[in-house]
Amino acid sequence: GMLYLVILKRVVSSFQWQEDIPTNFLKLACLCALLGFILQNFFAFNFHIPADAIYFTIIIALLSALIYFPSRSDYIFIRKISNWIALIGIGISIFAIIQKFSYNGRIFWIGKKAVSGFGPFISYNLYTGFMELCAPFSLCFSLAYLINYRGSIQGIRNKIIWLFSPQTNKALFYLAGFVIMVSSVFLSSSRAGSAAVVISTLIFFIILIIKLKPKKRIRVLYGAFIALLLLAIAVTFTSPTFLLEKYQRLKEIRGKPISKALVRFNIWHDCISLYRDFPLLGTGWGTFCHIYPKYRTLRMKKFARYAENDYIQTITELGSLGIILNLAFFLIYFRLWILLLKGWK
């Protein structure tokens, strides 16, 4: 809460304008970043990771400033933060890919052992949550530079001039960064992360295609084609057969009992009993790992420290208050989408 207020106060301190990145693009990037994160958190628990929680809060603060305080916002500052989110995401994704192909079971090769680690994160699901917050900003900058090119791209000569222009170079840089981040998500083998980033990216492109004028719409389609082509090459090169194997494993275990096939669903089912015993205020924030062992029905060597679902864990730890907070968050989030779509000009 304090971080949100600090960022919001800084962003709305004074009006400053910079027109190279349209505000609607930044709003859409924020909403799609939150969308990917929200979707994955139905199958993961990311808010206990400082990087994910901090970025989530910063993005909400930026979005609040852009939508609720448009005439008082410092767009230069917003652009700088958005740019750094994209650049840091690109840098971490490159490191994660390098580490993937030289992994010795330890974070940074010398740190803590992490069997399911990816990049600087102890779990690939936590990594993909972070990438979902970063990738839309790189895509936003890429497409903004692509459609804001003022010259004509008709004819071979103009296409060559366009291809070597500074704006196009920036567009291709951020587009390549986006492809690297998404490729790393697939490479991480996170099913939920892969699905979430695909959905948020599709919605990003669909909204732009619907809202933009025909001339700019064509350029967005060019960008989408280039992104898909580069992504296909990257995924083919990295050969993430392990991700396909995980999806195949889901298919193979579909007919087995949930308690043996999908541990997450078993945990969520146990949380129903937990909620019934603590319906009003829950068990207390951060107590899930201490309380859940008394309710688990699936016996494993390791017990779950988290519910693997942000929303279910919030309800078990905060009870009915958690339900209210979840509903309030989703209502506010959907309202932000409505405000964006209605106010798009």
Task: Provide the residue ranges of all domains of the chain, joining segments of one domain with +.
Answer: 2-247, 254-328
Report the distance separating Cα 56 and Cα 60, nearest Å. Answer: 6
Q: What pLDDT is recorded for position 257? A: 46
Is 180 within 8 Å of 96 (Cβ atoms)? no
Report the distance separating Cα 145 and Cα 172, nearest Å. Answer: 9
Q: What pLDDT is recorded for position 240? A: 53
Q: List beta partners, residue 118.
A: 121
Q: What pLDDT is recorded for position 71? A: 78
Report the distance separating Cα 185 and Cα 297, nearest Å. Answer: 32
Q: What pLDDT is recorded for position 144? A: 86
Q: What pLDDT is recorded for position 281? A: 86
Report the distance separating Cα 78 and Cα 61, nearest Å. Answer: 10
Buried b / exposed e across 195-231, counting CB within 10 Å, b at 16+? bbbebbbebbbebbeebbeeebeebbeebbebbeebb
Measure the CA dihedral 14/20/23/28, to 10°: -140
DSSP percent split of the chain into helix, strand, coil, nearest 5: 70, 0, 25
Q: Return the closest-CA partner of residue 129 out of 60, 38, 61.
A: 38
Q: What pLDDT is recorded for position 143? A: 87
Per-residue pLDDT of the chain (345 residues; tens, 9 = 90+): 667 777 776 777 655 555 567 888 899 999 999 999 999 888 887 777 888 888 998 999 899 888 888 877 788 888 888 999 999 999 999 999 888 888 777 777 777 777 677 888 888 888 999 999 999 999 999 888 877 765 555 666 666 656 666 777 888 899 889 999 998 998 888 888 888 998 999 999 889 888 887 777 777 777 777 777 777 776 666 555 555 555 555 544 444 544 444 777 888 888 888 888 888 888 888 888 888 888 887 766 666 778 888 888 888 988 888 889 889 989 999 999 999 988 887
Report the distance separating Cα 321 and Cα 344, nearest Å. Answer: 35
Report the distance separating Cα 55 and Cα 36, nearest Å. Answer: 13
Q: What is the DSSP letter of 296?
A: -
Q: Return the closest-CA partner of residue 323 out of 277, 261, 290, 275.
A: 275
Q: What pLDDT is recorded for position 237? A: 63
